[in-house]
Each structure stands twice: as C-alpha cells, then as structure tokens.
C-alpha cells in the first residue's frame, strides 16, 4: 500500500482579523483529508521539556475535504507573448544567442524554441543529448531536420551560438564561436578551446510551422490547470541577447553577430534585451523586452536570476546599474521555483475572536500530518498588548527547504552525527519543492531567491535540523514561555515590519525577537533603529541576528533575495560582478560589511558558532551596577546562568554574539555576563579570521563567547541582548523556575511597563 503524504502552503504569512488566507493542499495516497486551525504553543518533543502543545481553534474551515494530488513544475524560463503568431515561422529561420551553459552534458535543453517536442513539430535551438549546439526543425508528420556543431559545449564558457535554415535550398548552418575574454567565463583566453566553426547540412525542404508557444530556456510541453504553460527541456546557464530572423543568415552574417555587430536588421522578428528595465532600484520585473519593434515581449517564470554578468562583461564595473549593457544575461536553472501554482482548497476568514498569535492549518490524512503556519496580527491601529513578538519569517524563508542536512560538511559543522528527519528525506526525493539560500542549484550556482508560495516542510512546529530545533520550532520555546508566564503579546512578522516600518512597532512598549533573526532588509533595520531612537525597548533573545542583507521583491512580498558576498559564514559565494541584488540594486553580503554591524543596533554581533553542545554564562562586574540590578533580581552573584536547557544542554549555544566596541557597541553598553566553557567545535566567525592559524576554537580563543548586554538608548529606550540561539531553549527548565526564565521575566516586566528603563 502506498504511503500517504500531505503538504500545503498559504498565500499569506500574516493576516489581521477580517482578512482572508487561502490554503493550498496536495495529498498523495488518500481520498480525503481533515483540516483544523490550531494555535501553536510548543513543538519540542524532548522529554526534558513540556512537550508539544497546540490548541484547536473552532473555525468554519475545520472539517473534511476531498483530497487531490497537485503537481509542482520547477524550472525557470521565459514565455513570449506572440498573439499575432510572428514567431510561427515555418520556411526559413535564423536563431542566435550568446550562451553560457552550465550543465551541457545533462541532456537536451531548449535555448530558444517554438516547438511541440512530443509531435516533433516546430523549430528549436537546443543543446542536444550529446551536449552540442543544434538546430531542430520538424513538420509533425515524421520529417525532422537536425544539424549540430561537431564538438560538445564546455560548461561555464560564453559562446556565440547561431543557426539558420534556408527553406528554398534546404541548407542548414550551425555556427559556434567561443566568446571568452579575461573575466567573463570560468576559464580564460589562454585555455585551449575549439575555435569558431561553421557546420553545414543539406536536408529536404520541410514546413515547420507550429502553434506552440515560444519559450526561452526550455520548450512548450503543454498546459497545466489554470492555463499555466508547462515547460520541458529546461536550460541551465546564462543567456544573453537572443534573437530570431525570418530568413536564413549565412556563415559570414553569423560571424558578425558573434563579433557583436548587427549584420542586417531586415527580417529581424525578435531581439530580446534582458538588460532593458535596469534602473537605480534594480530590475525587479518579470518583463523581458523585445527591442525589435514587434512587441514580442516575454515574461520570466519561476524567478531566474537577473542582473547577471553578460558575455561582454569587462570586469571594470561590479554594479549592474552603472554598466547595464554588460549585464544583459539571465541565469536560468532547472530547479528554480517561485510559485507552486496550486489551486486553493479552503479559505479562512480570520475571525475577530482569534487573538494575535502563531497559528497553523493542521491538515492530516491517513496518518500523515502537515502544518501550514501563519500569524494573526492585532487589528489595524489597535495593539492588544504592550509586548510584540517579532516572528523572524525572513530567516524562516532563507532556510526554507534547505538541504544542508544531506551535505558532506554538515556533520563536521554540527560536531555530531547528522540526524535526518522524514522532512529531509522527502525534500531530497522531491526537488521540485525548491531550495533555500543555503543550497546550490543543480548547476552548482548559489540560490539567491526563495519564495513562501510553496510547501516548506522544514518550517513546521516539530522540525529538527540535524537533530536540533531550528527556526519556527525553536521560537515556539519563547511562545510557550510567554503563555506559561501569562504575558500577553501580539505577534507580527518580518514581512509586516519591512512593509510598514517603525509605525508598526510604535504602539508597543517592547519588541521581542525570535531565536535567530539573521536575515534583515534595510527597511527592517531602519524601522528597528527608528523605533529604538524614539524610546522603544528591544529584547534580542537570539544569536547571529541582523546579519545578512536581505531584499523583499517590491512587487512580490513572498519573495526574498540574498546574495552571499565575500564575507560571513556562507554556504556559497556569488560570482564576481554579481554581489548586487537585482530586486533593489543594493549590495549583498553581511551588514557588517556595509557599515551596519549588529553591534551598532543591539550592542553585540555574531562571534562564533558550534553545534555539539551548549554552555552557560558567568556574571561580569557590570552586573553589579545599579542600572542593571533589576535584571538579576532573584539571581545569585555566583550562579552559573543557563547551565541547562533543551538546546544542547545550555543557554549559550549554537551561534553566539559578542560585545565589541571596535564594531560599534555603544560606549554606555554594560557587559553583564559572558559565556565560557565552549568546545573547540565552536569557532570564531570567518569574517574575523584574516589568516588561518591554530587556536581559534572555544577552548583557546577568548573571542569565542556570547555576551549578555544591556544599554539605554539615546531616545529613552533600552536594549537587552541575550546573544545566543539556545537562550530560549532554557526558559522551560524546572517547570519554568530557573535563572534564565527569571532574568528574561525581570527584563520583560520592566520593559513592558510604562516606567522608564534604568539609565534612560
């Protein structure tokens, strides 16, 4: 009997009462499923803790639904609008593009096509099954013309790729020429490459008209539900300046195109300019412009990478907005996914009775269960509490569907045997669900865009990364503690903060972060800084926060962009010339390298990471000062702080932040406690290691630590930083009666009150 699987996602990550959230569900192996709305309280099944907790919320959507399997079609491409059929060419044709294939040996891949591959009808410039540039023409009645270059393409190399067919003579030409300069390709000009070559073939004359849609980086493979085009033969690599002529160009004219000249614009049907639209704020558009004058514009599907170095990149300018003509490439991948495109199963109108908190649609069938998380916000302009829990959804997205658990180096990073969960195995078996910013595409390039419009099995209340809680599951430690201690709070998300700014926070006395608010947009940083300078209070209850430059697509709030540059603990690094975000035009990398080190905001910044076991804090002399005595009320001077917990056995673990005046820690910040006793699996962050040398592990390097910091702000507010991802995992120890719980409650009670923070 086939095993049952169920997965889903929603169209919104947060909603106010009265708003609607649509849920999409796919089921394999069952005819019906059940849906219930639940409030998420605690997800950790560790027997040392309180155990999983959730509360069913009575709503009209609770009930049974017919099940169906909803397919997901990954792979990026461009679909061309051709209502007049100008590209329905069937007699003579020329197709040309500059191409940089990245997996030429992976199988047949479409470059520019208008064909029905199943019926072998139409025209197509492709990479064939032998990795060669080829022109395919077919009449759908069994007659097929194939002409190919004699040698296979090399990966990571720019080529001028052109082909033509003369219907009058039956003569086909394939012209291939390397277009390598000193910087644009994987290899340089000194490498031996096959020289420019023209291959000719004579075939019988045939009519290759086809009613299929024109596709760049694949071919038309039919239509899905809702009318979306299904594309096959996905191309991996870059394309630049593709064009189509309605007549056959000869070898000399194709050589002119290779040299960057326009031999003759007569008969030009389409010339797509991928750089058109680049402006000061990037190129956040799906539109692909046809510059021929025939308005055969296209539309990007599944978010291929834009603002990429083209065949003519000189290396003199690294910012695409300053040299748009050299950034005329799009990088396509066969595993890109922007929107799974599933049909809606049910819709929740958020009732007024649902308090602001963390929820999920729990869907189940045949023993399989999935949770689709969402946040309910307070009514607009009417906070229901003085405390706001800022749910780090940008970080959830950055890690969404990551495959690190299956990586070769993960066990060494963790310091223990990697434990795979069913979600990890399912993601490995179903790459169509897309990747995370910690993964590589199938061609080896890094993933820079991720979307929440798809199933995300690792963004669930019980998910464990490599055996430990991460993301949403880890943040439920805090949610559980807030509920156990009776603190009333509103929940908001990073996406809300990015969109609404400091005004969103202004109604709250104190904002709490989650355990790992790592990914931050400039708008989010500005909002937090403005809130603090206006007198707000912040409790930073995590580690490695405010770290990676993150962009939200201006027209697609569900899509974020991250470009990993030359700094930071990174799973990949963007190629030279591609550090700038296409969606905003800003430089990627870590905020520290853009003069906004986290120390300037919260007094601490990422210092070290390790995952074998967590440790504890020891109080520092500053903890005895009058302004911070409230923090340690009920805590002894010699107590070890947090030598217990559900995350590695201590409160100081996984990723740690450090006080550092040289990076912007405010001079009045008080260093009240520091962690110690870390193993050599804990290493100083790579951005602080300029030379490799022994002695950078936790047992020898004093910089490998987490620091608890308090300081009042210039505007009358205050900041408390716990500086550890593991902090919240210690809150429930001993039935919530412990010094980490006591310190957190002391600070929260004071920050949530209307009383001015000490020293402010």
pLDDT digits (tens, 9 = 90+) for 330-357: 999 999 999 999 999 999 999 999 999 9
* Phi, psi dihedrals of residue 590, rounded to the nearest 5°: -100, 150
**pLDDT tens digit sequence for 229-256:** 899 999 999 999 999 999 999 999 999 9
Q: Is 133 helix (H, G, I), strand (E, B) or coil?
A: strand
For the chain, percent of residues with pLDDT exceeding 90 = 87
pLDDT for residue 1 is more than 60: no
Could you tell me which of 432, 449, 188 has the C-alpha nearest to residue 308?
Answer: 449
- Which pLDDT band holds residue 421 (cuts at 50, 70, 90)? confident
What is the rounded average pLDDT of the residues 386-390?
98
- Contacts of residue 454, Cβ cutoff 8 Å, sequence gap at least 6: 9, 72, 337, 339, 340, 401, 433, 434
Q: How far apart are CA 467 and CA 473, in angstroms?
A: 12
User: How far from the centroid of its chain's Cα atoms is residue 417's Cα?
Assistant: 26
CB 378 within 8 A of CB 356: yes
CATH architecture of structural domain 376-752: 3-Layer(aba) Sandwich (3.40)
User: How far from the centroid of its chain's Cα atoms is residue 440's Cα?
Assistant: 11
Q: Compare 523 and 193 and report the one with higher pLDDT.
A: 523
pLDDT for residue 410 is more than 70: no
What is the rounded average pLDDT of the residues 14-42?
97
pLDDT for residue 618 is more than 60: yes
Specify the pLDDT at position 219: 97
Specify the pLDDT at position 204: 83
Q: Which of 93-102, 409-418, 694-703 has the highest mean pLDDT?
A: 93-102
Q: How far apart are CA 334 and CA 19, in angstroms?
A: 36
CB neighbours of residue 201 within 10 Å: 15
What is the rounded average pLDDT of the residues 552-576?
95
CATH superfamily of 5-72+340-375: Macroglobulin (MG2) domain (2.60.40.1930)
Q: Is 389 helix (H, G, I), strand (E, B) or coil?
A: strand
Q: Tell me how far CA of residue 188 lies from CA of 158, 178, 310, 311, in angstroms.
A: 11, 11, 15, 13
Q: How far apart are CA 707 and CA 663, in angstroms?
A: 14
**pLDDT tens digit sequence for 645-690:** 999 999 999 999 999 999 999 999 999 999 999 999 899 999 988 8
Sign of CA dihedral 126, 130, 133, 139: negative
pLDDT for residue 703 is more than 90: no
Q: How far apart are CA 648 and CA 469, in angstroms?
A: 10
The strand pair at 93-101 and 329-332 is best described as unpaired
Across-strand partners of 219?
Answer: 232
What is the rounded average pLDDT of the residues 246-274?
93
Residue ranges covered by each domain of the chain: 5-72+340-375, 79-275+287-302, 376-752
Q: How far apart are CA 196 and CA 180, in angstroms?
A: 12
Q: How far apart are CA 491 and CA 355, in angstroms?
A: 9
Q: Is 275 helix (H, G, I), strand (E, B) or coil?
A: coil
For residue 574, the 8-state DSSP code is: P
CB 601 within 8 A of CB 592: no
**pLDDT tens digit sequence for 149-168:** 999 999 999 999 999 999 99
- Which pLDDT band holds residue 228 (cuts at 50, 70, 90)? confident
CB 40 within 8 A of CB 359: yes
Q: How far apart are CA 509 and CA 538, in angstroms?
A: 9
CB neighbours of residue 528 within 10 Å: 25
Tokens 């000193």, located at residue: 182
User: What is the CATH topology of the domain spanning 79-275+287-302?
Assistant: Jelly Rolls (2.60.120)
Specify the pLDDT at position 464: 85
Q: Is 426 helix (H, G, I), strand (E, B) or coil?
A: helix
Q: How far apart are CA 750 and CA 743, in angstroms?
A: 11
Note whether 5-72+340-375 and 79-275+287-302 share their fold.
no
Sign of CA dihedral 319, 321, 327, 331: positive
CB 397 within 8 A of CB 62: no
Please state the length of the chain. 760
For the chain, percent of residues with pLDDT exceeding 70 = 98
Question: What's the half-sphere exposure (Cβ side, CA atoms, 13 Å) at 154?
Answer: 19
CB neighbours of residue 503 within 10 Å: 11
- Contacts of residue 485, Cβ cutoff 8 Å, sequence gap at least 6: 736, 741, 745
**pLDDT tens digit sequence for 679-702:** 998 999 999 888 777 777 778 888
**pLDDT tens digit sequence for 314-332:** 999 999 999 999 999 999 9
Q: Mean pLDDT for the chain?
A: 95
* Phi, psi dihedrals of residue 240, rounded to the nearest 5°: -145, 130
User: How far from the centroid of its chain's Cα atoms is residue 271's Cα?
Assistant: 31
User: How far from the centroid of its chain's Cα atoms is residue 150's Cα?
Assistant: 40
Residue 139 Rama label (left phi>0; alpha psi -120 to 50; beta): alpha
pLDDT for residue 417 is more than 70: no
């Amino acid at each position: 009997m086939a095993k049952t699987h169920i997965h889903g996602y929603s169209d919104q990550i947060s909603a106010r009462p009265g708003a609607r959230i649509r849920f999409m569900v796919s089921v394999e192996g069952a005819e019906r499923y059940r849906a219930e709305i639940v409030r998420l309280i605690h997800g950790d099944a560790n027997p040392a803790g309180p155990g999983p907790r959730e509360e069913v919320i009575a709503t009209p959507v609770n009930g049974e639904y017919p099940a169906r399997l909803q397919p997901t079609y990954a792979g990026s491409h461009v679909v061309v609008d051709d209502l007049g059929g100008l590209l329905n060419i069937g007699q003579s044709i020329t197709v040309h593009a500059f191409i940089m294939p990245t997996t030429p040996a992976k199988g047949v891949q479409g470059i520019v096509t208008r064909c029905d591959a199943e019926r072998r009808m139409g025209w197509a410039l492709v990479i064939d099954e032998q990795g060669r540039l080829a022109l395919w023409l077919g009449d759908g009645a069994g007659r097929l013309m194939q002409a190919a270059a004699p040698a296979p393409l090399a990966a990571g190399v720019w080529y001028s790729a052109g082909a033509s067919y003369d219907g009058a003579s039956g003569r086909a030409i394939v012209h291939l020429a390397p277009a390598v300069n000193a910087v644009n390709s994987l290899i340089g000009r000194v490498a031996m490459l096959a020289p420019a070559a023209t291959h000719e073939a004579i075939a019988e004359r045939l009519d290759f008209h086809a009613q299929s849609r024109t596709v760049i980086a694949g071919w038309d493979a039919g239509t899905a539900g809702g009318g979306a085009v299904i594309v096959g033969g996905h191309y991996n690599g870059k394309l630049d300046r593709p064009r189509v002529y309605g007549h056959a160009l000869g070898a000399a004219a194709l050589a002119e195109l290779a040299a960057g000249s326009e031999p003759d614009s007569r008969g030009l049907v389409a010339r797509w300019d991928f750089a058109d639209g680049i402006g000061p704020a990037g190129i956040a558009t799906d539109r692909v412009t046809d510059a021929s004058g025939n308005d055969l514009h296209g539309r990007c599907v599944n978010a291929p990478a834009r603002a990429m170095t083209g065949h003519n990149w000189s290396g003199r300018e690294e910012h695409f907005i300053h040299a748009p003509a050299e950034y005329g490439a799009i990088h396509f991948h066969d595993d890109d996914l922007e929107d799974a495109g599933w049909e809606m199963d049910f819709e929740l109108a958020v009732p007024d009775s649902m308090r602001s908190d963390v929820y999920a649609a729990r869907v189940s069938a045949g023993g399989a269960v999935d949770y689709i998380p969402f946040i309910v916000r307070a009514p607009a302009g009417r906070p229901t509490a003085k405390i706001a829990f800022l749910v780090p959804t940008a970080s959830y997205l950055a890690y969404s569907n990551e495959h690190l658990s299956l990586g070769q180096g993960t066990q060494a990073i963790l310091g223990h045997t990697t434990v795979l969960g069913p979600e990890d195995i399912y993601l490995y078996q179903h790459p169509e669900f897309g990747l995370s910013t910690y993964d590589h595409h199938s061609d080896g390039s890094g993933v820079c865009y991720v979307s929440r419009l798809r199933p995300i099995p690792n963004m669930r209340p019980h998910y464990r990364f490599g055996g430990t809680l991460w993301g949403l599951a880890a943040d439920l430690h805090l949610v559980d503690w807030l509920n156990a201690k009776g603190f009333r709070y509103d929940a908001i998300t990073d996406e809300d903060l990015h969109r609404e700014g400091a005004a969103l926070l202004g109604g709250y006395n104190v904002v709490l972060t989650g355990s790992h608010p790592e990914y931050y947009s400039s708008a989010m940083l500005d909002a937090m800084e403005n809130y603090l300078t206006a007198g707000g209070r912040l409790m930073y209850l995590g580690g490695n926060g405010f770290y990676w430059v993150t962009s939200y697509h201006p027209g697609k709030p569900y899509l974020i962009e991250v470009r990993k540059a030359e700094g930071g603990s990174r799973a990949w690094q963007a190629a030279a010339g591609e550090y700038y975000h296409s969606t905003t035009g800003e430089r990627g990398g870590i905020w520290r390298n853009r003069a906004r080190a986290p120390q300037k905001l919260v007094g601490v910044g990422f210092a070290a990471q390790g995952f074998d076991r967590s440790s504890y804090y020891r109080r520092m002399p500053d903890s005895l000062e009058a302004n911070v005595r409230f923090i340690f009320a009920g805590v002894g001077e010699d107590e070890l702080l947090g030598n217990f917990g559900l995350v590695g056995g201590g409160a100081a673990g996984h990723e740690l932040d450090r006080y550092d005046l040289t990076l912007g820690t405010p001079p009045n910040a008080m260093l009240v406690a520091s962690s110690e006793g870390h193993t050599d699996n804990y290493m100083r962050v790579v951005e602080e290691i300029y030379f490799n040398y022994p002695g950078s592990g936790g047992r020898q390097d004093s910089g490998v630590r987490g620091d608890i910091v308090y300081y009042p702000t210039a505007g009358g507010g205050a900041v408390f930083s716990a500086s550890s991802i593991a902090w919240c995992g210690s809150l429930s120890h001993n039935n919530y009666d412990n010094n980490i719980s006591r310190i957190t409650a002391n600070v929260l009670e004071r920050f949530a009150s209307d009383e001015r923070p000490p020293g402010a």
